[in-house]
A = this chain, B = another copy of it.
Amino acid sequence: MHMSAHAEGPLTPGLVFDMLQAHQRTAALKAAIDLDLFRAIGEGPGDVASIAKHCSASERGIRILCDFLSIYGVLVKEDGRYRHSRTSAVFLDPRSPSSLASIAQFLSNEEMLTPYLHLADVVRAGRTTLAGDGTVEPENPVWVQFAETMAPMMAPMAAPLGAVVLEGHAGPMRVLDIAAGHGLFGIEIAKQNPEAHVTGLDWAPVLRVALENARKAGVHKRYSMLPGSAFDVDFGEPYDAVLLTNFLHHFDQSTCVHLLRKVHAVLKPGGRAVTLEFVPNEDRVSPPMAAAFAMNMLTSTVAGDAYTLSELTSMYSEAGFNGITAHPIPMSPHTVVMGYAGRR
């Protein structure tokens, strides 16, 4: 949605000023979520006084915040009143089943934001300035928060990913979900195939969130937990499918190949390794969301990246996979990449 910046138009410093002030947008959306403003908007009537009362906030603050959100298309202002845009009605009102409000907690997590305070130092060093290995340090509590808050962002990817995993698969199957997090991807398989058994692998406190989600989905009897590091624990075997969702991007390519080899070794012949990734085009600057994700990896990891399809394909191949295919998920920055173990 920023592509208009590329258009040839009158030359003004607008883009520079806009970027230097862009941090305000993050703060404004975060503040509105914290103030329960989107519930007030949904309940109406949408005048400043009513919203301020609901939010226990000043009228000056609410008026300026709501105007700001209207400028950026989050709210709609009409005749001095504010109402939901399509985006805020569906994705920000806490009464909406698709509400994403919780993702602000992970994306505005203080640890995740710290490297941006001195990004020049990060660029100089070429790696996160967070301690140790950054977000992939063993038992980093940030992944509990991820599991607890990012599920609404990831939920829409579950069905398309499940379709890739299950295509042509009926009857009993064993699935390993590496870096399970909220567990939604493995749970989706268990829901769609009543004979599937899923093993979630993640840090133990994270798996408690996944198990609770499995319980809510009624599939917990077919859900096992394998706590620990994907690089250290014995996966057990054999599996029909191994999921690696939002995981490879944290590591350098040789580490990814090492892990994919370990995955390959526990798959049945013809079994599938299925990754969900931000996959930019080969130019690495499009599409915007997938390409910009590399910045998140620069600030939070030692050597992670948003890998292109040719890079992912080469890692898969090096680890012994073949029949590698990419399945971009429509309306999302994510792509499912799948490879088969052994001949097919």
Residues of chain A having any CB pair with chain B under 8 Å: 1-6, 8, 10-31, 34-35, 55-65, 67-68, 70-74, 77, 85-87, 90-92, 100, 103-104, 107-108, 113, 116-117, 119-120, 122-127, 153, 283-286, 288-289, 291-292, 294-298, 303, 305, 331-332
Contact = CB atoms under 8 A, between A and B. Distances in A.
A1 to B, nearest CB: 5
Contacts of A285: 67, 70-71, 77
Nearest to A101: B16
Given A15-B91, A58-B127, 8 more contacts: A15-B74, A16-B29, A19-B26, A27-B117, A59-B126, A60-B303, A67-B285, A72-B288
B289 A17 contact: yes
A72 B27 contact: no
A104, A124, A125, most chain B CB atoms within 10 A = A124
Contacts of A55: 123-124
B292 A24 contact: yes
A1 B18 contact: yes
B119 A73 contact: no
Contacts of A57: 123-124, 126
B23 A26 contact: yes
Contact of A4 (B1, B16, B296): B1
B24 A332 contact: no
26 contacts: A1-B15, A2-B18, A3-B4, A4-B4, A5-B73, A13-B87, A16-B91, A17-B103, A19-B72, A20-B30, A22-B24, A23-B25, A23-B27, A28-B295, A30-B119, A30-B120, A56-B124, A60-B126, A60-B127, A61-B122, A61-B123, A61-B298, A65-B119, A67-B285, A67-B291, A68-B292
B23 A71 contact: no
A104 B20 contact: yes
A19 B13 contact: no
A199 to B, nearest CB: 30
B116 A24 contact: yes
